[in-house]
Amino acid sequence: MLERLLDDTLDRLEAAIGRVSPALELQEVGTVVEVGGGIARLEGLPGVTAEELVAFDGGGLGIVFNLAPDAIEVMLLDDRPELSAGSRARATGREVDTPVGEALLGRVLDATGRVLDGGDPLGTLERWPVERPAPAILDRAPVTVPLETGIKAIDALIPIGRGQRELIIGDRQTGKTSVAIDAILNQRDKGVICLYCAVGQRGTAVSRVVDTLRDQQALPNTIVLVASDADAPGLRFITPYAAMTMAEYFMARGRDVLVVLDDLTRHARAYRELSLLARRPPGREAFPGDIFYIHSRLLERSTQLVERLGGGSLTALPIIETQGQDMSAYIPTNLISITDGQVYLSPSLFHKGFLPAIEVGRSVSRVGGKTQYPAFRQVAGDLRLAYAQFEELETFSRFATRLDAATRQAIEHGRRVREVLKQPEHRPFSAGEQLVVLKAVNEGLLDGLPLEQIAAAETRLTRGAQQRLPALCAQLDSGEPLEEAQWQQLLEAARAVLGEAAGAAKGGPDGIAGETAGTARDAG
Ligand code: ATP
Ligand code: MG
């Protein structure tokens, strides 16, 4: 009985084994010779190609960086202490890729798809290569739609369009990240998907940004991609490319995407570190010769696609940190020439409390003016002119002891414009709010007020306009131009609101008030 059972089982086993035909798989295995500073030198792997992904025993990953006759240099994507000389490595035949999809929205992750927000893992997602070709010329449409940042100084004077690349540049601690985050916050109800990519920053700085996005309800339409200063230089290097890939997924589906790259100075340093370790010849400031190319091929991927391809767009706001306000250093000049303009943040304005510290004279948007809403164009032309004159006059007036009345008035007017352009963090202004206050200051309605009362007057103006002329404000929010009669209606309401406030606070500095009333009447 038992024997029969045994025979039966053996027969079945033999049959099962006969059915199995093991496929032959050839796998090259290399050996690590040396590891250090985020680079590993390997021997073996004769068939490996440039930029191929290499997997190490224990799960670490690296990218082939240098192919020399005697050894292969691999940049590591993670810092694995167990990786040492003698570890084995195998070529994967794949290039580096990153997860893409709707599931990434609201998440904090790194370029390999590891989640960093303590939430559930991502699950199975489509993966796209991090390096993808930039759209061809024929696939690109002109930039025509504004990307509203909600920051008055930018939307009115340095407007940015969807699909544009605008650099945010300034010394350390001048509010660069704040400007970019405020631009992200303003997209909450605009249907623009945002991606904040932090490269080489301290973990605390990144978590502060994540907290802000969460507190301000901007996280659900934002992806936060992080390679901190503690991560391997290889990961810091590929992260901005991965950010572009994640954004391209949405752009390919006809969506508008805003990508903030914070910051490319640290990205360039990660690449310099890798290049020096791989003994590539150093050039200016010890950066390797292809440093221009690594940034240009990254930012070329930002565009407005033609209707035929869905009409999506990818706007890039790369950030660059300067040292001692030196815009002519190597990396800043590269980036200035790659991008379509820059927002310059000045440390001296920052220290004087003119926040955001945007210096209009050194900032430019090379495509933005064409994208501005018609209503903005009706107002901003005058404003830019007045402001430019003011900046010049203010510098000049430091040397002059006595000024004529017209000059003094232009300076006083300019100071009020500058006061109006001040804006606290996390308080984006809608197009309508911006236009109401900008129109009022343009027409000289605020010229009579002492500087410290401008902020209060501004609040009163936006609230008053909304209460008295809601339809007009809605029209301004949509960016449609107003008829002259409508502008007059708006100004009348503004005068009434300011008049009420002045009436309520009788007994202010008389001299200034008298002078102001005069200018306001002249302007009107
Ligand atoms: P880093 O060089 O360290 O990256 P940064 O240039 O990105 O700095 P931020 O971190 O954005 O600068 O801002 C520096 C400080 O200035 C922060 O404490 C921020 O809260 C403050 N700040 C920035 N903009 C404003 C503003 N408009 N109003 C008030 N405070 C601001
Ligand atoms: Mg910053």
Q: How far is CA 156 from each of CA 352, 358, 418, 438, 439, rounded to the nearest angstrom?
A: 22, 12, 12, 9, 11
* Structure token digits, residue 242: 């991965």
Residue 299 lies in a domain: yes
Q: Is the CB of 427 under 6 A from ligand 1?
A: no
Judge whether residue 504 has pLDDT over 80.
no
Cβ(356) – ligand 1 distance below 6 Å: yes
DSSP 280: P
Q: What is the DSSP letter of 86?
A: T
Cβ of residue 424 lying under 6 Å from some atom of ligand 1: yes
pLDDT tens figures, 227-275: 999 999 999 999 999 999 999 999 999 999 999 999 999 999 999 999 9
User: What local confidence, expressed as pLDDT, does residue 25 receive?
Assistant: 76
CA 73 to each of CA 45, 48, 219, 439: distance values in angstroms, whole numbers, following the listed order:
11, 11, 38, 60
Report yes or no on 159 lying in a domain: yes
pLDDT of residue 519 exceeding 60, the answer is: no
- Compute the distance between CA of residue 287 and CA of residue 280 in angstroms, rounded to an integer: 9
- When pLDDT is cut at 50, 70 and 90, the band that residue 400 belongs to is low
Residue 366 · residue 341 · CB < 8 Å: yes
For residue 172, give both structure tokens: 């350390």
What percent of the chain has pLDDT above 70? 95
Which residue has the least CA distance to atom 9 on ligand 1? 175
**Arithmetic mean of pLDDT, 314-341:** 97
Amino acid residing at 32: V
pLDDT for the residue numbered 401: 66
- Domain extent, residue 293, equals 99-372
CA dihedral 194, 200, 205, 206 (to 10 degrees): 40
Note the pLDDT of residue 265. Answer: 97
C-alpha span between 429 and 439 (Å, rounded):
14
Answer yes or no: is pLDDT of 386 > 80: no
Give the chain's end-to-end CA distance (angstroms, integer): 113
User: Distance from the CA of 207 to the center of ligand 2, in angstroms?
Assistant: 12
Residue 514 confidence (pLDDT) above 60? no
Amino acid identity of residue 157, one-letter, is: L
Q: What number of CA atoms fall less than 13 Å from residue 417's CA on the CB side?
A: 28
Is the Cβ atom of 175 under 6 angstroms away from ligand 1?
yes
- Closest to 516 (Cα-Cα) out of 422, 508, 488, 382: 508
Residue 304, phi then psi, degrees to nearest 5? -105, 120
pLDDT, average across residues 366-375:
85
| More confident: 399 or 293 | 293
* Cα–ligand 1 centroid distance for 189 (angstroms): 24
**Lowest mean per-residue pLDDT among 28-32, 353-357, 372-376, 395-399:** 395-399
* Catalytic residue list contains 366: yes
Instruction: Write the CA distances from 136 to 166, 293, 308, 317, 369, integer angstroms.
Output: 20, 17, 13, 21, 24
Q: Return the CA Rg of the chain.
A: 29
Tens-place pLDDT, residues 98-127 = 999 999 999 999 999 999 999 999 989 999
CATH number at residue 395: 1.20.150.20
Tell me if 18 is assigned to some domain: no
Please report which confidence band the pLDDT of residue 465 belongs to, taking 50, 70 and 90 as the band edges. Answer: very high
Max avg pLDDT among 65-69, 298-302, 392-396: 298-302
| 245 C-beta closer than 6 A to ligand 1 | no
Q: Is the domain of 340 the same as that of 431?
A: no
Q: From the CA of 240, how far away is ligand 1's center (Å)? A: 22
Mean pLDDT on 433-444: 93
Residue of the CA atom closest to atom 23 of ligand 1: 175
Please state, rounded to an integer, the average pLDDT across all residues of the chain.
91
Model pLDDT, residue 452: 93
Verify that 122 and 207 share a domain, yes or no: yes
- How many domains does the chain contain in total? 3
Average pLDDT over residues 160-181: 97
Do 407 and 275 lie in one domain? The reply is no
- Considering the domain architecture, whether residues 253 and 142 belong to the same structural domain is answered as yes
The response to whether residue 174 sits with its C-beta less than 6 Å from ligand 1 reads yes
Cβ–ligand 1 contact at 322 (below 6 Å): no
Asked whether residue 380 falls in the same domain as residue 253, the answer is no
pLDDT at 523 > cutoff 60: no
Residue 369 in this model has a pLDDT that exceeds 70: yes
**Is residue 467 assigned to a domain?**
yes
Residues 315 and 205 in one domain: yes
User: Residue 63: what pLDDT?
Assistant: 95
For ligand 1, atom 31, name the residue with the nearest CA: 425
Q: Do 357 and 419 belong together in one domain?
A: no
Atom of ligand 1 nearest to the CA of 178: 11
Give the CATH number of the domain where residue 35 resides: 2.40.30.20
How would you classify residue 58: left for phi > 0, otherwise alpha for psi between -120 and 50, otherwise beta?
left
**Domain finish residue from 78, 95, 112:** 95
pLDDT beyond 90 at 195: yes
My answer on whether 258 and 300 are in the same domain is: yes
The arithmetic mean of pLDDT across residues 321-328, rounded, is 96
Assign residue 191 the CATH number of its domain. 3.40.50.300
In this predicted structure, the answer to whether residue 201 has a pLDDT above a threshold of 50 is: yes
**Location of structure tokens 């996280």:** 219
Contact 41, 72 (CB under 8 A): yes
Residues 359 and 311 both lie in one domain:
yes
Nearest Cα residue to 477 out of 436, 524, 419, 418 = 436
129 C-alpha to center of ligand 2: Å?
A: 28
- Any residues with CB less than 8 A from the CB of 84 and at least 6 apart, and which? 32, 35
**Average pLDDT value for residue range 417-436:** 94
How far apart, in Å, are the Cα atoms of 57 and each of 8, 38, 61, 423, 488? 42, 16, 9, 53, 74
Same domain, 364 and 215: yes
pLDDT computed for residue 132 by the predictor: 96
**135 and 227 inside one domain:** yes
The answer to whether residue 506 scores a pLDDT higher than 70 is no
pLDDT category at 515 given cuts 50, 70, 90 is very low
Residues 86 and 108 in one domain: no
Instruction: Give, for ligand 1, the residue of 169, 177, 345 to mutate: max count of ligand atoms closer than 8 Å to Cβ.
Output: 177
Task: Kindly report the protein residue whose alpha carbon is nearest to atom 2 of ligand 1.
Answer: 172
pLDDT of residue 4: 87
Has residue 430 been placed in a domain?
Answer: yes
| Residues found in the chain | 524
Predicted confidence at residue 120, as pLDDT, reads 93
AA letter at 370: K
Q: Does residue 457 surpass a pLDDT of 50?
A: yes
355 CA distance to ligand 1 middle (Å): 9
- pTM summary value: 0.90
396 vs 146, higher pLDDT? 146
263 within a domain of the structure (yes/no): yes
**pLDDT category of residue 6 using cuts at 50, 70 and 90:** confident
* Binding-site annotation, residues for ATP: 170-177
Task: Give the tokens for residue 4.
Answer: 């029969």
Q: Which of 366, 427, 463, 521 is catalytic?
A: 366
Are 262 and 197 within 8 A, CB to CB? Answer: yes
Mean pLDDT calculated for residue range 346-369: 90
CB neighbourhood size of 480 (10 A): 12
Q: Of the ranges 48-57, 288-297, 394-403, 471-480, which one carries the lowest mean pLDDT score?
A: 394-403
